[in-house]
Amino acid sequence: MAALWILFCLVFIPQWGVCSSTLEKANVPVSYKTLNFNLETASKSSYTTFVSSLRGKLKGTKEYYGIPMLPEPSKAKDPEQRFLLVGLNVTKEKSITLALDVNNIAKDSLWKDAKERLPIKYPSTYGGIEGKANPRSKVELGIEKLKFAILSVFGKQQIKENLEAKLLLLSVQMVSEATRFKYIEKMILNSIERKGTYKSFFPNPLVISLENGWEDLSEGVRNSKNGVISPAVQLIDPNNKPFKVDKVQAVAPYLSLMNYEVEKPIVSDQPCQNMEIAIDTIL
């Protein structure tokens, strides 16, 4: 059976929305940059290397106060430059591949060979996906949780919406958000005791407010004067108390990759227009 391919426009766009997924392995050109993570043998060291490699492959040439920024969209014109394929392997036979889209290009121009396309029938926002799964605060993150979520949909002809949505929440946060935020990476690292021994955790209010505030934090750092962010960005601490960030040095412990913004970002609850699942199965 073929691996499950999932096409996400999650790391790179003003909203993180998940736009589409799955394609058969044979249809993906070998020239695309790829990065793999073995969930079966995950360790603190391997996860750190994985996230660091993601940041290295995704960042552009510009940075502000030592915080790198995604590349300018016009710099990634060729499909090979626009997509990074990230494989999450549960076993040798069972895996998913996330295609991270630099420019949020129309997927059909690249993935035109998929034989079956199944539209996702809910908005491609955290709010829309949480409505089908659960609020992020009630969905545990961790290596075993991600493995179980992959296996719950892998090889299934009919995928239940709640299981599909839960996989989206887990993979987005443990790949995309951990790449954006050192704080979220650290939370996941703390859940890895050693190879083969894993804990899970519920995202605390700070994790969720960072995820919701990526665009504002990125804009604040880019537009800061002498390290001062104005207006200040409001976050929520782990104890659910609001606090304001008005200096770049206060953002640095959290933010590891900024978005590239040409225009004002799309509001967080506006869905992607191209959200669907494209399934291609090989027996």
pLDDT tens, per residue, the chain with 283 residues: 444 444 444 332 223 333 333 333 334 555 678 899 999 999 999 999 999 999 998 888 999 999 999 888 766 566 667 778 888 999 888 888 877 766 432 233 334 444 444 556 777 788 888 999 999 999 999 999 999 999 988 877 777 889 988 998 999 899 989 999 999 999 999 999 999 899 999 999 999 999 999 999 999 999 999 999 999 999 999 999 999 999 999 999 999 999 886 544 333 443 333 334 433 333 2
- DSSP E strands: which ranges in 120-227? 192-194, 197-198
pLDDT on residue 14: 26
CA distance 80 to 1: 26
DSSP string covering 84-120: EEEEEESSSS-EEEEEEESS---GGGT-TT-SEEEE-
Question: CATH number, domain at 195?
Answer: 3.40.420.10
- In this structure, is residue 135 part of a structural domain? yes
- In this structure, is residue 10 part of a structural domain? yes
Q: Which domain holds residue 101?
A: 4-200+266-279
- In this structure, is residue 49 part of a structural domain? yes
Q: Name the one residue in this structure whose structure tokens are 């990476």.
A: 185
Predicted structure pTM score: 0.81
- In this structure, is residue 254 part of a structural domain? no
- In this structure, is residue 62 part of a structural domain? yes
Domains of the chain: total: 1
Q: Is 92 exposed, middle or buried (0-12, 13-18, 19+ CB in 10 A)?
A: exposed
Helix 214-222 to helix 205-212 angle (10° resolution) is: 60
- In this structure, is residue 270 part of a structural domain? yes
CA distance 88 to 4: 10
Q: Name the one residue in this structure whose structure tokens are 């804009």.
A: 219
